[in-house]
Amino acid sequence: MNIVIFGPPGAGKGTQSNLIVKKFNLHQLSTGELLRKEIKDKTKLGQEITSIINDGNLVSDEIVGNIIEKYLSDKTYNSRLIFDGYPRNLIQAKNLDRLLNKYNQKIHVVLKLSVSLETIKKRISERKNLEKRTDDNEKTAIKRFLNYEQNIQPVIDFYKQSNLLKVVNGETSISEISNEISGLIEGIKG
Ligand code: AMP
Ligand 1 atom closest to residue 85's alpha carbon, by position in its atom list? 3
Integer-rounded Cα radius of gyration of the chain: 16
Contacts of 90 (CB under 8 A, 6+ apart): 151, 154, 155, 158
Ligand 1 atom closest to residue 84's alpha carbon, by position in its atom list? 3
- Strand 81-84: give its sheet, edge to edge: 27-30, 81-84, 3-6, 109-114, 165-169
List the pLDDT tens digit at each of the 190 positions of the chain: 999 999 998 899 999 999 999 999 999 999 999 999 999 999 999 999 999 999 989 999 999 999 999 999 999 999 999 999 999 999 999 999 999 999 999 999 999 999 998 998 888 888 887 887 788 788 888 888 998 999 999 999 999 999 999 999 999 999 999 999 999 999 986 4
Domain residue ranges of the chain, discontinuous segments joined by +? 3-189
CATH architecture for the domain at 3-189: 3-Layer(aba) Sandwich (3.40)
User: Which residues face 27 on adjacent strands?
Assistant: 81
185 close to 178: Cβ distance less than 8 angstroms = no
pLDDT of residue 72: 97
- CA 79–ligand 1 middle distance (angstroms): 23
Ligand 1 atom closest to residue 36's alpha carbon, by position in its atom list? 8
- CA 36–ligand 1 middle distance (angstroms): 9
pLDDT of residue 27: 97
Name the residue of 16, 18, 35, 48 to mutate for ligand 1: max ligand atoms within 8 A of Cβ: 35
71 close to 29: Cβ distance less than 8 angstroms = yes
Ligand 1 atom closest to residue 49's alpha carbon, by position in its atom list? 12
How far apart CA 37 and CA 10 sit, in angstroms, is 19
